[in-house]
Amino acid sequence: MSVNQLAGNLVGQYSGHVLMVGGAPSVPEELETLRAGGFDFDCCLIVSANEHAIHAGLKPHYACVNDDIHSTLQIHQEPRMRALMPTTKLLSRHWWADYRTPQLLACNSGLKGLLYSALLGANPVVVIGIQHYSNGLYFHPDNSRKKNPNLDRGAAYFAKQTTKLKQMLQGVPVRPVSGPLTQLWPKWDPAEKFLPRQLTELELKAQDDAATQRYACTIAPAVAFESALVPERMLFAVTEREMRNIANKDTIVDATGWDWNNVEAGFLDTQAERRAEHARLIKMIGKIRASRRGVRRGVADADLMRLIKWLEAGDSPATVGKRIGLPPEQIRAMASMAGVDITSGAAVVSGLSTVG
């Protein structure tokens, strides 16, 4: 069955050095420190915050991807990450992750990467590239046009997160090479030896979740789950608690007990096709969101997705406007932002008619 798993399935599969790579400008210098100290990059797992590790010339085994939509590029993260790192397994709370969990902690991908490193069995977690944006954004060029909001967040903002982070990582030796995390944990020392450690509460809970893993299947388009839109007829791993507490029970069903030998022909084979279509629509929504003209907050991404589909099906801006409660002029403007040609009566996207 070509679907994902819960991250708890990784617990106990590895025990050793994990290098967690953030994106701070300190990364090149920190890598030189590691090399000078004889750090063995070939005998450790590498966890990357988003795609930062590949810009450092490393080959990450796993990548922690916190956001469904890139905060400044306004595009879907999954296809972007898979294009950049085809062999890297994605770790996230979102439906598309190779190994997912519920929300571990409200923090950025770099800090959350420490938690995933612990789940992987890190002993220790060696950390580079975490500076809380105190010395700039990234060590590699950032091609987004908008200013990253993290640059305006002060030390107090990150202190609240790292205090909780340290509590959750009790029993896990974390060794930052430099930066503010050295105020919480000892700096990396190439001479330090590490005895085998016990599983932490974090790992035990993840392991328990994996033992009762469920599979959810969306039965409606654009279902909201963990702050992300999920395509219709998509399968993804959830915890038993998540399945029990899902609020929108008319849009998601428990598919754990399905007989996969008798399920509808092609159901699993078309998962990739649905993901690609979802990514296409998210990209169009991003163009609307990124436009200077923008769209009022009351219009959710699910509304915009329906709007685009209706326009591509040939519905007029007036008809769509009545359905969604917006004036036709605004519908026309959003169609233009998204790249939907509504002038011919049948919508045309990228030169291809979507209506016969």
Query: What stretches of the chain adopt beta strand conformation (E)?
Result: 5-6, 16-21, 45-49, 62-64, 89-92, 99-100, 122-128, 174-176, 214-218, 223-225, 228-230, 235-238, 252-254, 340-341, 348-349, 352-353
- φ, ψ at 292 (rounded to 5°): -65, -30
CA–CA dist 332, 309 (Å, integer): 14
Looking at residue 216, what DSSP letter applies? E
Q: What is the pLDDT of residue 351?
A: 36
Q: Are 194 and 124 in contact (CB under 8 A)?
A: yes
CA–CA dist 59, 51 (Å, integer): 10
CA–CA dist 240, 346 (Å, integer): 45
Q: What is the pLDDT of residue 134?
A: 79
pTM: 0.89
pLDDT along the chain (356 residues), means of 10: 87 96 96 98 97 97 95 88 96 97 92 97 98 85 70 78 95 97 97 96 97 94 90 94 88 87 69 90 90 70 91 94 89 92 56 32
The residues facing 186 across adjacent strands are none
Tokens 């896990």 belong to which residue? Answer: 172
CA–CA dist 257, 252 (Å, integer): 14
For strands 228-230 and 223-225, give the pairing: antiparallel
Q: Are 293 and 333 in contact (CB under 8 A)?
A: yes
**pLDDT tens digits, one per residue of 174-216:** 999 999 999 999 999 999 999 999 999 999 999 999 999 999 9
Q: What is the pLDDT of residue 294?
A: 61
Taking the CA atoms of 153, 159, 165 and 171 in sequence, report the sign of the dihedral they define: positive
Please compute, for residue 44, the number of CA atoms within 13 A of its CA located in the half-sphere on the CB side: 22
Identify residue 195 by its one-letter amino acid code: L
CA–CA dist 350, 281 (Å, integer): 13
How many angstroms separate the most distant Cα atoms in the chain? 71
CA–CA dist 53, 108 (Å, integer): 16
CA–CA dist 164, 184 (Å, integer): 11
CA–CA dist 75, 281 (Å, integer): 10
For strands 16-21 and 45-49, give the pairing: parallel
Q: What is the pLDDT of residue 345?
A: 45
CA–CA dist 274, 278 (Å, integer): 6
207, 256, 264, 213: which is closest to 235 by C-alpha? 256
CA–CA dist 14, 219 (Å, integer): 37
Structure tokens at 354: 């979507």
Q: Are 204 and 243 in contact (CB under 8 A)?
A: no
- φ, ψ at 30 (rounded to 5°): -70, -35
Q: How far is CA 164 from CA 105, 146, 158, 168, in A?
A: 8, 30, 10, 6
Structure tokens at 27: 């990364």
